[in-house]
Homo-oligomer: A and B are copies of this chain.
Amino acid sequence: MYRDTNLRSVTKGISWRFVATTTTIIIVYIFFGRLDLAIAAGVIETVLKVGLYWAHERAWFKIKWGRKKIEPFNLWFTGLPLSGKTTLANRVYEELSNFEIPLERIDSKDIRDLIPGIGYTREDRNRHMHRIGHLIKTLQNNSVSTVASFVSPYTESRKAIREMVKNNIVVYVKAELETCKKRDINGKYEKALRGEYENFTGVNDVYEEPQHAEIIIDTDKLSIDESVEVIIKYIKSNYIK
């Protein structure tokens, strides 16, 4: 959140004065036909009103009326590992940063790196989701929108998120398992198939497809640019007016 500095108010006042005094001089000149007096009146007006404008501007900071609380949303990217959630969410976050809204990026990997030992069992994941839901909710209390990307394979935890946060937009990043495997430069799927990981979604743990996703991105058909466009269009027509 930002607040206007005093210098900004003063400069804004001077900028306005330029527009306003020119208008006054023209009006007075048209009425009285004397440019010298018109300019003199303009000069006095300028000196007086820069101060008045500043005081007026600062007084209005105290008035809360007419300020609209920004309504936050939560973009929730779900999908198989390596489906392209993080890449897509990063791009969408970048695009949304151009708008004047408070925004936070939340990614599964970042949080798991920061707070290790979260675990991957059904219970671990559900508890983790519950905590993420709380984080998003707290941010939303403060008008901060979120771009979140999590495998979030279970219907129950996605439902829990939906119940905790408002303006929840589930983006199902759909990709064939084969496509995900092809994108897997670190060989995670291979390791999972060899049994080195337990509870690896898509291999030895289930991914329950979302039935109520607001947006479905078929990454086998859409390019990243096209996908970003679909999502930004949705946000623009629903949340940024």
A139 → B minimal CB distance (Å): 7
Cβ–Cβ < 8 Å partners of A15 in chain B: 56, 60
Interface centre among A24, A28, A139, A144 (most CB of B within 10 A): A24
Cβ proximity bits A128-153 to B, threshold 8 Å, 1 near / 0 not: 00110011001101111000000000
Determine if A225 is an interface residue (Cβ-Cβ < 8 Å): no
Cβ–Cβ < 8 Å partners of A41 in chain B: 27-28, 31
Determine if A202 is an interface residue (Cβ-Cβ < 8 Å): no
Residue of B24, B100, B130, B135 near A24 (CB, 8 A) is: B24
Beta-carbon contact of A52 and B28 below 8 Å: no
Cβ–Cβ < 8 Å partners of A12 in chain B: 60, 66
Q: Complex Cα distance A135/B142, Å?
A: 13
Q: Complex Cα distance A126/B23, Å?
A: 66
Knowing A66-B11, A117-B127 are in contact, say whether A20-B134 is a contact too (CB < 8 A): no
Determine if A49 is an interface residue (Cβ-Cβ < 8 Å): yes
Q: Complex Cα distance A86/B208, Å?
A: 41
* A1-9, A89-97, A165-173, A180-188 - interface stretch: A1-9
Cβ–Cβ < 8 Å partners of A114 in chain B: 130, 134
* A67-75, A192-200, A214-222, A231-239 - interface stretch: A67-75
Main secondary structure of the interface of A (DSSP, over half): helix
Beta-carbon contact of A115 and B142 below 8 Å: no
Residue of B1, B45, B65, B143 near A23 (CB, 8 A) is: B45
Beta-carbon contact of B53 and A16 below 8 Å: yes
Cβ proximity bits A101-139 to B, threshold 8 Å, 1 near / 0 not: 110101000010011010000000001001100110011
Cβ proximity bits A1-41 to B, threshold 8 Å, 1 near / 0 not: 11111011101100110011001100110011000010011
A interface, CB within 8 angstroms of B:
1-5, 7-9, 11-12, 15-16, 19-20, 23-24, 27-28, 31-32, 37, 40-41, 44-45, 48-49, 52-53, 56, 60-61, 65-70, 100-102, 104, 106, 111, 114-115, 117, 127, 130-131, 134-135, 138-139, 141-144
5 cross-chain pairs, A with B, having the tightest CB-CB distances, nearest first: A8-B66, A2-B67, A1-B143, A142-B144, A1-B70
8 A-B contacts, Cβ less than 8 Å apart?
A1-B101, A20-B53, A23-B52, A27-B41, A27-B44, A32-B37, A102-B143, A135-B135
